Amino acid sequence: MLGKIKTKQEKSGEIVAYSETAVANNAAVVEYCKISMAALSGGTAGLLGLTVLYGFVFYVFAVFGLWAMLLMKAGGQWRKYFISRRHLLTSGFFGGLCVSFTLLSKVSL
C-alpha cells in the first residue's frame, strides 16, 4: 500500500508533493544517525575529559557537523529528501543531548 501524498506551497507559488512514506523513512534514518552521533560525541567528549560546558559545545559542534554533512550528501537537491533544513537541524536535539551527557558522565575519568 502506498503512503499518502503531502503537499507544500513554495514561496514562488509552486506546489511540491511529498510521499508520506518516504518522508517518514528519511526521518527515521536521520534520527538513527543523530542518536549514533550523540553517543559517539558523548563518549569522545568523556574520553577527552570535556566537562559540562565544553561537552555541550562539543555536542553542538557535532550536531552542526552532522547537519552540514547531511545537506552536503543531499546536494543542491535537499528539497527532494527533506521538507525543511531547520527541522533537519533541530529535531531530536534534546534527545541526543540526553544521550550525549549520559555517555559523557559514564566515560569521563
Q: Return per-residue pLDDT of the chain as tens, 109 residues.
A: 455 566 666 666 677 677 788 888 888 898 899 999 999 998 898 889 888 889 889 999 999 999 999 989 888 888 778 878 888 888 888 888 888 878 777 775 5
pLDDT on residue 1:
46
pLDDT on residue 66:
92
Could you count the other beta carbons within 10 Å of the beta carbon of residue 13? 6
Evaluate whether residue 18 is within a structural domain.
no
Evaluate whether residue 35 is within a structural domain.
no
Evaluate whether residue 81 is within a structural domain.
yes
Q: Which domain holds residue 101?
A: 43-108
Number of domains observed in the structure of the chain = 1
What are 21-30's contacts with CB under 8 Å, separation 24+? 23/83, 26/81, 26/82, 27/91, 30/70, 30/82, 30/88, 30/91, 30/92
| CA-to-CA dists, residue 85 to 44, 64, 68, angstroms | 27, 12, 10
pTM here?
A: 0.74
Evaluate whether residue 64 is within a structural domain.
yes
